[in-house]
Amino acid sequence: MEVKPYSHIVQYYETDKMGITHHSNYVRWMEEARVDFLKQIGWDYAKLEEEGIISPVVGVSCKYKTSTTFSDTVYVTVRVEHYTGVKLTLSYTMTNAEGKAVCSGTSEHCFVNAEGRIIQVKKDYPAFHAVLTELAEQ
């Protein structure tokens, strides 16, 4: 399954007084890319919520490589780094228009139902499990 990178254009309000993108925005772009990634694999947030699946972030990390500035285009590639059927780790590689790495990161997620109880995707949602398993093996 091919997933296309998410594209984000740095907005003026995302920069600081020095004209450089504030570090907090990279985590926001990871979330934007994750939403786009789930949509591309056929499991957008609306579908997950209809199925009763909530996927909170339980951890996040970023490593900044080089800065970006207003109007730069940042491409975010999302990959399933690790998936156990209960926990999902996604990796993010952000590059600029020249293909130079600007940031890398990960986000860790669990899966819970509306009552906040952990669910086992493999058992309770086999179709979603199959997609995540396939992507983890790529």
Q: Is 124 annotated as catalytic?
A: no
Enumerate the β-bridge partners of residue 6. Answer: 76
Please pick, among 16, 36, 72, 124, the residue that the annotation labels catalytic.
Answer: 16
Pairing of strands 101-110, 57-64: antiparallel
For the record, the structure tokens of 82 come out as 């690790």
For the record, the structure tokens of 78 come out as 């999302």
Spatial distance between the Cα atoms of 99 and 76, rounded to a whole number of angstroms: 11
Give the 3-state secondary structure of residue 55.
coil
Give the active site residues. 16
